Chains A and B, each alone.
Chain A
Amino acid sequence: MNSVLKIIAQRLALGLLTLFIVSIVIFAAVNLLPGDFAEAILGQGATPEAVAAIRTDLGLDQHPVLRYFQWLGGVLQGDLGNSFAQANFASFVGDDSGVRTTVAQQIAPRFANTMFLAGVTAAIAVPFAVTLGILAALYRNSVFDRAANITTLSSISSPEFFLAYVLILFLAVLNPWLPSLSNIYDGMAFSERLEKTLLPALTLTLVVTAHMMRMTRAAIINLLASPYIEMARLKGIKPMRVIVKHALPNALAPIINVIALNLAYLITGVVVVEVVFVYPGIGQLFVDSVKIRDIPVVQACCLIFAAAYILLNLTADILSIVSNPRLRHPK
């Protein structure tokens, strides 16, 4: 067990290093974007004086390297800073005593919403994809197998917004079963929240299913050629039981890996889907912030995305170690 802990510690340290590098890349990339917050927010009123005033207000006139380390210092102390939009609002009020929310306060509710969407999607997609994969392995090369493959592959190959609009067309416009707007809010009844979340969740399900389903199928088929499966079959066990009881446990490691990767995608890749369905998650906030070059919010979002990826990958590795006795007890 100690070895597992050691691996976790090593991975976490590496993860932190990755986050540090990612933060540099994000900062550099955002600074390379043409225009800045002052110009974006002022529009036609962007006279040189007004632009300069806002830049001084927000410290945008300082050297980028200096700004990066100031920001990094804040982040290390758990302070993601204030969003530019909020800071600018405070200066409208004329004093700072009024309401002024930090980036963390702004992101928290949005992140919770995104996690809810990811949760609903995972609850649908994971069992669906694994079952489909098992069935495809069971009836491999049958019409069912082919049909499942073709459908999932074509859905993963289509852009998300296209899938979203196809679903809207069939499930909201032609047959008004589900709402096309997913504007969930605090205090909404759980059932209503679930109903509003269903269309984006289904869209994301279509996007992530193929990957998981095909990995399940391939991993199981790979094992079906092993001698111990042969043995089980010779004992006269039913094919379904052979797969579920004998093959699946040994195929878990790669399947878990792929599921974790897809869960990470559910958090980081939802930008387009959230915009199409007007879902108030972190993806929408991210798009809005990039539009006005609100660097603190953009950076915080990117950090969250990167951290989600790193943590879920770490979880996947650990789970595949735990599920594999050979890795659990290395000689």
Chain B
Amino acid sequence: MTRISRRGLLASGAAAGVLAATGMPLRAQQKGGTLRLGLNGANTSDSWDSRTHSDAFMINLGHGAVFDTLTEVAASGELVGELAESWEASADAKVWTFNLRQGVTFHNGKAFGADDVIASLNMHVAEGAKSAAKPIVEPIVEMKKLGEHQVQLTLKAGNADFPFLLSDYHLCMFPAGQIEEAIAKGIGTGMYKVEAFDPGVRALLSRVDSHYKDGRAGWFDSVEVIAINDTSARMNALMTGQVDAVNRVDFKTEALLKANPMINIFEVTGNQHFTFPMLTNLSPFDNVKVRQALKHSVNRQEMVNKILLGHGAVANDIPIGPANQYFASDLEMNDYDPDKAKHLIKEAGLDGLQVDLSASNAAFNGAVDAALLYQSSAKAAGIDINVVQEPEDGYWSNVWLKKAWCACYWSGRATEDWMFSTAYESGVPWNDTQWENARFQELLISARAELDSTKRRDQYHEMQMIMAKEGGTVIPMYANYVDAHSTKLTNSGVIGNAFQMDSSRLIERWWFA
């Protein structure tokens, strides 16, 4: 597990030079070689349209190698500029001005400028386009070109996280006026250009001759990314040296990988978490004491050990994780305490508790087993949990948001506000607990536009505290991202935890030892 120190998000972005300044352990980087990656999540329908990217294969290729975004979350968790060099916000965090990097060209020779930013952002709100990044772009009411290398984006309401959101892997920069061609051929500003691409099968990339990140990243001469959706085949490919790194290690054969001296397993705890949301507008979950009793009747460590086989960390009923900036790691834990749970049930005026818990492995791998563990640990508190095994197909439309208590997962979000406003703001469609707390909602709104990061930290801290205590969801654990690489590869020692494979930027960050 990597401890990440997240510095606050500053209104004026610190950009180039930050990597050197953060004092990353210096290991001599070496240029050269062909990196071969074996990744899952590949489909025959894959394309270079970053709006459609949703799984490891295209995320690593798209924003990780061929394309650039305006901002980038460095491996240390710091927000740095990628195509934007610096940025400034108005006092209400509504108007954002981005100064773009000069002298950047696309792979086809076109110079990068303000028009490209506007055209690329507009792709996500185009008529009929179904982009997952639409919620980020939609609040932009005006995009203004102030100069060849300066754009001003005006938001509907203040959002202090805005530069952070622009690092999203969907928001790649395409050449204006040539977007269709760029989608067909993969023309970006990234360190690697596309030599060959066979959707669902493989991609071959080569290093561009010169790039603004020279000397900081991009050590491989060429990169071959091979689609290996089958888990055993992926592990085999690494074992037999057919690839240099793979994602999603199979826990069942992990011991074999560990026994191989040529292979290293690397894992990070990010924001991915498994949850048991209760509909707090239904009895008995409308009673906060009942919710608290349930929070104290789950043995979190046992779940991490048995469901995740140790590849995770206990969570404290908050959807904010170690990869977030304002993660409150110092809250009092909702420990497994059957006596306290019993007491809380009594305080709720109940004589024992009997509830149904709906689960299916569609929620997350091992969800049914997790529910059964919950059942047995709650027995000691006199709580009778009846595990209802639901069919996997149609789970998200028939069970989640419908059954009073069920199993669910969230991959987490890059910012606190994004996570809270996706699933915990009152009235949003994915609010899976219907939990209403006036103070929580008030803080959510005020923290959103708060540019002072100290004040913001306090606000988010209080929100996490309220949620851990009174919230409607039981979040027992964070699931790690577990990947593996050959010892021929090496890295700076700091591995990003926003997503698997060094936050999907392994291609430009790693090198051959």
Write the nearest CB–CB distance from B427 to chain A, whole angstroms.
15
Asked if residues B391 and A34 are in contact (CB atoms below 8 Å), the reply is: yes
Indicate whether A35 sits within 8 Å of B232 (C-beta atoms), given known contacts A181-B237, A185-B198.
no
How far is it, in angstroms, between the C-alpha of A220 and the C-alpha of B418 when the chains are bound? 75
Q: Do B397 and A48 touch across chains, with their CB atoms under 8 A apart?
A: yes
Residue in chain B with minimal CB distance to A171? B240
Residues of A within 8 A of B126 (CB): 94
When the two chains form their complex, are residues A276 and B391 in contact, meaning their CB atoms are under 8 A apart? no
Residues of B within 8 A of A183 (CB): 201-202, 226-228
Q: Give the CA-CA distance A43 to B401 in the complex, in Å.
A: 14
Q: Once the chains are docked, how many angstroms separate the CA of A292 from the CA of B43?
A: 10
Q: Is residue B388 within 8 Å, beta carbon to beta carbon, of the partner chain?
A: no
Closest to A87 in B: B45
Establish whether residues A288 and B229, one from each chain, have CB atoms under 8 Å apart when the complex forms. yes
Contact partner of B242 among A44, A45, A165, A181, CB < 8 A? A181
User: Chain A residues with Cβ under 8 A from B236's Cβ?
Assistant: 168, 172-173, 180-181
Q: Does B130 contact A (CB under 8 A)?
A: yes
Residue of A with least CB distance to B230: A275
| Interface: A159 (CB within 8 A) | no
Assess A91 versus B397: contact at CB under 8 Å? Given A185-B202, A276-B230, A278-B237. Answer: no
Q: B397 contacts A85, CB within 8 Å?
A: no
B interface footprint on A1-45 (CB within 8 Å = 1, 0 otherwise): 000000000000000000000000000000000110001001111
**Complex interface bits, A152-185 against B, C-beta within 8 A gives 1, otherwise 0:** 0000000000000100100011001001110101
Contacts of B243 in A (CB 8 A): 181
How many A-B pairs fall under 8 Å by CB?
Answer: 122
Decide if A276 touches B232 in the complex (CB within 8 Å).
Answer: yes
Closest to B237 in A: A181
Q: Which residue of B lies closest to A54 (CB)?
A: B130
| Smallest Cβ-Cβ distance to B401: which chain A residue | A47
Cβ of A278 and Cβ of B228 under 8 Å apart? yes
Question: Most B CB atoms within 10 A — which of A99, A179, A181, A280?
Answer: A181
Cβ of A46 within 8 Å of any chain B Cβ, yes or no, is yes
Determine the chain B residues whose CB is within 8 A of the CB of A43 once the complex forms: 396
Is A330 close to B, CB under 8 A? no
Contacts of A165 in B (CB 8 A): 232
For residue A187, CB closer than 8 A to chain B, the reply is yes
**Which chain B positions have C-beta within 8 A of A42?**
396
Among candidates A44, A98, A187, residue contacting B196 with C-beta atoms closer than 8 Å: A187
Q: Which residues of B contact A47 (CB under 8 A)?
A: 397, 401, 429
Asked if B183 and A93 sit within 8 Å, CB to CB, the answer is yes
Q: Which residues on the A side are within 8 Å of B396 (C-beta)?
A: 39, 42-46
Q: Contact at A180–B240, with CB atoms within 8 Å?
A: yes
Report Cα–Cα, A135/B128, bound state, in Å: 68
Flag if A176 contacts B241 (CB, 8 Å): yes
Taken residue by residue from 399 to 437, chain B's Cβ proximity to chain A (1 for < 8 Å, 0 otherwise) reads as 011000000110000000000000000000100000000
Q: A280 to B391, alpha carbons, bound, how many Å? A: 31
B184: chain A residues at CB < 8 Å are 98-99
Instruction: Answer whether residue A190 sits at the interface, using C-beta atoms and an 8 A cutoff.
Output: no
B394 within 8 A of A: yes
Query: Contact mask B89-120 → A, CB, 8 Å, 1/0?
Result: 00000000000000000000000000000000
B52 within 8 A of A: yes
Q: Which residues of A contact B183 (CB under 8 A)?
A: 93, 98-99
Does B49 count as interface, using CB distance less than 8 angstroms?
A: yes
| C-alpha spacing A172/B51, complex, angstroms | 39
B233 at the interface (CB under 8 A from A): yes
Q: How many residues on the B side are at the interface (Cβ–Cβ under 8 A)?
A: 48
Contacts of A71 in B (CB 8 A): none
Among residues of B, the one whose C-beta sits closest to the C-beta of A172 is: B240
Q: Fill in one digit per residue for B73-101: 1 if any A CB lies within 8 Å of its CB, else 0.
A: 00000000000000000000000000000
Interface presence of B372 (CB below 8 A): no
**Contact A39 to B393, CB < 8 A, known contacts A94-B126, A168-B240:** yes
Nearest residue in A to B130 (C-beta to C-beta)? Answer: A92
Q: Is B280 an interface residue (CB 8 A)?
A: no
B497 at the A/B interface (Cβ < 8 Å)? no
Name the contact of B128 in the complex, choosing from A88, A94, A186, A280 (C-beta under 8 A). Answer: A94
A289 to chain B: closest residue by CB? B44
Q: Which residue of the partner chain, among A88, A98, A173, contacts B240 with CB atoms under 8 Å?
A: A173
Q: At the interface, yes or no: B209 with Cβ under 8 Å from chain A?
A: no
Query: What separation, in Å, do the CA atoms of A89 and B47 have in the docked complex?
Result: 9
Which one, B45, B127, B394, contacts A86 given CB within 8 A?
A: B45
CB distance from A95 to the nearest CB of B (A): 7
**A128 CA / B241 CA spacing, docked (Å):** 31
B131 within 8 A of A: yes
**Could you say which residues of chain B place their CB within 8 Å of the CB of A44?**
396, 400, 408-409
B146 at the interface (CB under 8 A from A): no
A258: min CB distance to chain B, Å: 31
Q: Which residue in A85, A89, A278 is a CB contact (below 8 Å) of B227?
A: A278
A106 — which chain B residues lie within 8 A by C-beta? 44
- Compute how far the CA of A137 lies from the CA of B7 in the bound complex, rounded to whole angstroms: 79
Q: Mark A260-283, 1 if CB is under 8 A from B, else 0.
A: 000000000000000111101000
B411 nearest CB neighbor, chain A only: A44
Shortest beta-carbon distance, B408 to chain A, in Å? 8
Q: Mark B213-252, 1 if CB is under 8 A from A, else 0.
A: 0000000000000111110110011011111000000000
Q: Find the A residue at minimum CB distance from B242.
A: A181
A285 within 8 A of B: yes
CA distance A172 to B242 in the complex (A): 10
Counting CB contacts under 8 A, is B322 at the interface?
Answer: no
Measured in the bound complex, the distance between the Cα atoms of B393 and A43 in whole Å is 9
- Give Cα A186–Cα B168 distance, bound, in whole angstroms: 33
**Closest Cβ–Cβ distance, residue A86 to chain B (whole Å):** 6
A45 — which chain B residues lie within 8 A by C-beta? Answer: 396
**A167-213 interface (Cβ within 8 A of B):** 168, 172-173, 176, 179-181, 183, 185-187
Residues of A within 8 A of B45 (CB): 83, 85-86, 88-89
At the interface, yes or no: A51 with Cβ under 8 Å from chain B? yes
* 5 A-B contact pairs sorted by A residue (CB < 8 Å): A35-B393, A86-B45, A176-B240, A181-B240, A280-B200
Give the top 10 A-B pairs by smallest Cβ distance, nearest first: A35-B393, A85-B45, A94-B129, A34-B393, A46-B396, A94-B126, A181-B242, A94-B128, A280-B201, A180-B240
